Amino acid sequence: MDKNVIETEITMGTVHSAAIEPYRVRLFVEDEIVKDAEITVGVNHRGVERIMEGLPVEKANSLTEKICGICSGVHLWNSVLVAEKGLEVEIPERASYIRIIVAELERIHSHLLYLAHGNEVLGHETFSMRLFYIRETVMELLRIIGGNRVQYGVPIIGGIRPRAELDEMKVQKIREGIDYIRGKVKEFADRFTSDPMIMSRITGVCPLNRKDALRLAVTGPTLRATGVEFDTRKEMECYDPFEFDVITQDDGDVKSNLLVRVFEIFESVKIIKQALKNLPEGAVVDRSWEMQDTDITKSYVEAPRGTLYHSYALEDGRVRNVVIRTPSIANIGAMQYALIGHHITDAQLGIVQCDPCFTCTDRAIEIIKRR
Amino acid sequence: MYSILGVIGTIIIGFIVSLWLPGLERKLIHARVQQRIGPPISSPGIMAPLKFFFKQTIMPYSPLPRLYNSLPLIGLLSVLFIFLFTVPETYQLGAFASIVAIVGFLKIEEVIYVFMGSLSKSVMSLRMPFPDLAKGAKHPNVQRSFLEDISAMRAFRLIAFGSFPLYIALFVPAVISGSISLGDIVAYQQVHGPILFSAAGVIGAIVFFIGYMILLNEYPFVILKAKADVIEGPYMEYAAKWRALVYIMRGFLMFTLATLFSVLFLGVPPSIFTWGILVNILVAVLFPMLMASFSAFAPIFTFKQFYPVTFGATILGVVALLAAFI
Amino acid sequence: MGIKSYARARAIHAMLVYTGGCNGCDIEIVNAVFSPKYDAEQYKIFLTWNPREADVLIVTGPVTKQNKKPLKEIYKAIPEPKLVIAAGACALMGGVYKNIHGDIPSEEIAGPVEEIIPVDAKIPGCAVRPEDVLAGAVSALPKLLEAK
């Protein structure tokens, strides 16, 4: 790329109407076309990994939930999984099923938020509001299960919190809720994809091809939107009893990204239905485990945004050497790359299409220079 | 004396009606489409400007704050002049009460956005304190510009092509009636019936409506002040009473353009001495509602979509002109 | 009630500044305004992103060091009379990030909000519930209405 054509630099953030989270985007533009982009994170850095160092493991687990308000449940789940792997705790099957139900509900709520926010950035206030309305159902379900709308904290070491045990009433409510969501999202998707104005706005905008996606180490639905069939859920043991498809799209543009999320909502509904149908009986928590020192244990789960990695060691019941790698940090490269050659108004859309969660990302920044 | 009273009375009526239009748009259409209750009708149009009048006046952050602050006033005055020349009592002014004068005043309306954009230096863009330069950049020695500068550039482009549909639509009645004077156009329609009910008139009206939406920067033609990048664009630094003027200016422009439509296409000039003013008010209420029902279902158009739409509308306008000649 | 406070009560422009934290409060507040379920516009609260237009500044998050200056600047840009609402446990007291730590405390938090700009109303909760946001905004209103 020729550096001489860059005319001016536009900065957006840290407070901006299209980006609710604080981060900085510097766009190098020529004639309103983005020639290069630079995303600066770190505004939001709170040092969660550092303050976790030396906390008792239960307390540290509940702190991981505060990394992100959108995918709080999955952070907690992964952190608990690390401890369980290290301590070799077997959890009851029922607890595992309920954890999956919560994780999938969370995926639905996160994807709906993504779609709503995407529509807001697209300038379509009506769809944004409708999606927020659909999302309220999931929030209500999560509140019924966990007792809070955002930080519901279901998994604990050895199972799930007894508060989150599913009785007949809750099961019935979840069944009704996911049916409603499925119907509504389907209606939305039909309406959305048949709207010529929206389609002309999102088709071919900020595309990412398969090769670049792999080169930039993109993960999650953003990777699947480029046609790579990769889903950490397929590699997780607890997902073995469930039958679901890995959704892929071909183009990697905003349209593919939106559609991947829409179809993943349907897959999540499918998983929840199977889980509710085959929900095993029995206890939900096994408290018979004993604390011991462990080596650094690693765990990967599929968060709504991609592969999430947690690892730590245990020493006298306290956590050591915490490392958390969130999916958004992998996608920042894709965000910067996808914007090049597109209009400034599409720039925020190109960032939003990768479903950024900079709050997740800003815990510790490690700059790796790649050759 | 009698006619001066008439003019002033008409302006006051128009002004009062124009205050309700943003509220009608928001409450009756947007909120209904979005399945919510929405704000009271008086809130966005009347109460918000009134509230801004009672706020502390602060100097905007701008290289020429006084000029920047006076721009909404200039805009409001130019809209007022357009409205003035549509009132039948002023038709004797000849050259002023003609389409050319109206086009001229509409141009002022558009040009002020360029000035607003280039004079506004908001805290939300480059003035946001952030250690950017200390961190270096991919391209370190590039000139840095404010978000509003982008808006100014867009306003400049819109002057070049965005207002074509409206101007072409304005000339359709002129071609049909064979005169650019508003008085003659109204007189022609009183004899031959409204221009709207002819083929050229219908196409002209559609083009006029598209031009109306573009000039008012309503969704989907909102690129001048798109929330996705420039936040509020040219209006960023207006505070207190100057912001109130911006609100009033927009409402009054809505009313004035609708009046212009009823004069040019229906042959009903606004005057408080005839029942015709009810037609004006009806058109003024219908136009924003129609606009709102389009904007509720439209995303922002970038220039990729904007060019074809304006180009298509312009072609349609030319077709209307040709039909008018035949 | 004079015309001044009447007009102020009928059109309230709220601006949201998010200064760190976990996104939870932030989304709940946008939700409170955006979702038709809560729809703050029926209580005459409009969302804006321009400090020059705003009356009410809603701050969430514990205010990280990088965010301290922008927050101050935005606060300064709002014309009087203005209200500041701190929403969420982080904005009120620094939340888990400031108060819970193992061996080393976090050095990144400049907050809570009170230490940076004056706060008029506090909304507790982790994360705040949309109902509480609306209630908090309403409870702080008299100060705005009675201002000179």
Q: Which of A99, A125, A96 is nearest to A17 (CA)?
A: A125
Contacts of B130 in chain A (CB under 8 A): 11, 13-14, 24, 43
How do residues A299-344 score in pLDDT, each as one tens digit? 999 999 889 999 999 998 899 888 888 888 888 888 888 888 899 8
Q: Using an 8 Å Cβ cutoff, are B103 and B55 in contact?
A: no
Decide if A44 contacts A69 (C-beta within 8 A).
no
Buried (b) or exposed (e) across B65-92, using 16+ Cβ within 10 A?
beebbbbbebbbebbbbbbbbbbbbbbe
- The string of pLDDT tens digits covering residues A234-246 is 988 889 999 999 9
Q: Has residue B132 been placed in a domain?
A: no
Residue B138 lies in a domain: no
The Cα A193–Cα A262 span in angstroms is 11
| pLDDT at res. A371 | 46
Residues of A in contact with C28 (CB under 8 A): 149-150
Compute the count of residue pairs across chains A and C with CB atoms less than 8 Å apart: 136
Tell me the shortest Cα–Cα distance from C52 to chain A, in angstroms. Answer: 14
The CA-CA-CA angle for residues A181, C36, C126, to 5°, reads 85
Which pair of tokens denotes residue B293? 């029902």
Mutate to test the interface with A, among B156, B229, B231 (most CBs of A within 10 A): B229
Nearest residue in C to A360, CA atom: C22
Residue A369 has pLDDT above 70, yes or no: no
pLDDT, tens only, B111-140:
999 999 999 888 888 888 888 777 677 888
- Please, what are the domains in chain C? 3-146 (3.40.50.12280)
Beta strands per DSSP E along chain A = 8-12, 24-30, 33-40, 155-156, 159-160, 294-303, 306-315, 318-325
Query: Chain A: nearest CA to C61, how far in angstroms?
Result: 9
Contacts of C64 in chain A (CB under 8 A): 43-46
- List, edge to edge, every strand of the sheet that includes A24-30: A33-40, A24-30, A8-12, B143-145
Chain-centre distance of CA B46, in angstroms? 18
Lowest mean pLDDT among A93-107, A264-278, B260-274: B260-274
Burial group, residue A371, by CB count within 10 angstroms (0-12, 13-18, 19+): exposed
CB-CB under 8 Å, B58 with C50: no
The answer to whether residues A303 and A330 touch, using CB atoms and an 8 Å cutoff, is no
Inside any domain, residue B257: yes
For chains B and C, count residue pairs whose Cβ atoms are closer than 8 Å.
93
Side by side, the strands of the sheet bearing A294-303 are: A294-303, A306-315, A318-325
* Domain ranges, ordered by start, for chain A: 3-361
Contact B195, B204 (CB under 8 A): yes
C75 and A CB contact within 8 Å: no
Band the pLDDT of A183: cuts 50, 70, 90. Answer: very high
Asked whether residue B155 is assigned to any structural domain, the reply reads yes
Quote the domain boundaries for residue B82: 2-126+145-325
pLDDT in tens, B178-235: 888 888 888 898 888 888 888 889 999 999 999 999 998 888 888 888 888 888 888 8
Give which of A39, A9, A3, A31 is closest to B145, Cα–Cα: A9
- Give the count of domains, chain B: 1
pLDDT by 10s per residue, chain B, length 326: 778 888 888 899 989 999 999 999 889 898 999 888 989 999 888 999 999 998 888 888 889 999 999 999 999 999 998 998 888 888 877 777 888 889 999 999 889 999 999 998 888 888 888 887 776 778 888 888 888 888 898 998 888 888 889 999 998 998 888 888 888 888 898 888 888 888 889 999 999 999 999 998 888 888 888 888 888 888 888 988 899 999 999 999 999 999 999 999 998 888 888 888 899 999 999 999 999 999 899 899 988 889 999 999 999 999 999 988 88
**How far apart, in whole angstroms, are the C-alpha atoms of residue C72 and residue C61?**
14
C101 and chain A in contact, CB less than 8 A: yes
Determine the Cα–Cα distance for residues A9 and A28; give it in Å rounded to an integer: 5
Neighbours of chain C (3+ CB pairs under 8 A): A, B
Å from C86 to nearest chain A CA?
16
Residue B283 lies in a domain: yes
Q: Show which of residues 28-57 on chain A sit within 8 Å of chain C, judged by CB atoms.
A: 42-48, 50-55
Residue type, C66: Q
**pLDDT digit string, tens, across residues A67-77:** 888 888 899 99
Residues C92-130: b if buried by 16+ CB within 10 A, e if exposed: bbbbbbbebbbeeebebbbbbbbebbebbbbbebbbbbb
Res A363: pLDDT: 67
Instruction: Note whether C49 contacts A: Cβ–Cβ < 8 A.
Output: yes
Beta-bridge partners for C122: C86
Question: Is B220 close to A130, i.e. CB distance below 8 A?
Answer: no
With CA atoms as reference, the chain B residue closest to A124 would be B299
Can the peptide bond before residue B72 be classed as cis, meaning omega within 30 degrees of 0?
no
Does a structural domain hold residue B134?
Answer: no
Question: Considering only CB atoms, which chain A residues are within 8 Å of B222?
Answer: 123
Instruction: Select from 1.10.10.10, 3.90.280.10, 1.10.645.10, 2.40.160.20 the CATH code of A3-361.
Output: 1.10.645.10
From A113, which residue of chain C is nearest by alpha-carbon distance?
A: C27
Torsion of CA B95, B98, B103, B104, to 10 degrees: 20
Locate B147 and state its tokens: 């978000």
**C19/chain A closest Cα distance in angstroms:** 7
**C interface test, pick of A111, A142, A150 with most C CB neighbours within 10 Å:** A150
A281 contact partners, CB below 8 Å, separation of at least 6: A94
Which residues on C lie below 8 Å from A54 (Cβ)?
102-104
B35 and A195 within 8 Å at the Cβ level: the answer is no
Is the peptide bond prior to A225 cis by the omega test (within 30 degrees of 0)? no
Q: Which residues of B touch A42 (CB under 8 A)?
A: none
Please state, as a whole number, how many other Cβ atoms lie within 10 Å of the Cβ of residue A106.
Answer: 23
Q: How many residues does chain B have?
A: 326
List the single best residue of A3, A7, A9 to mutate versus B (max B Cβ within 10 A): A9
Residue among A298, A371, A368 at smallest CA distance from A332: A368
Contact state of A345 with B34 under an 8 Å Cβ cutoff: no
CA distance B275 to chain C (A): 33
B236 to chain C: which residues are within 8 Å by CB?
50, 52
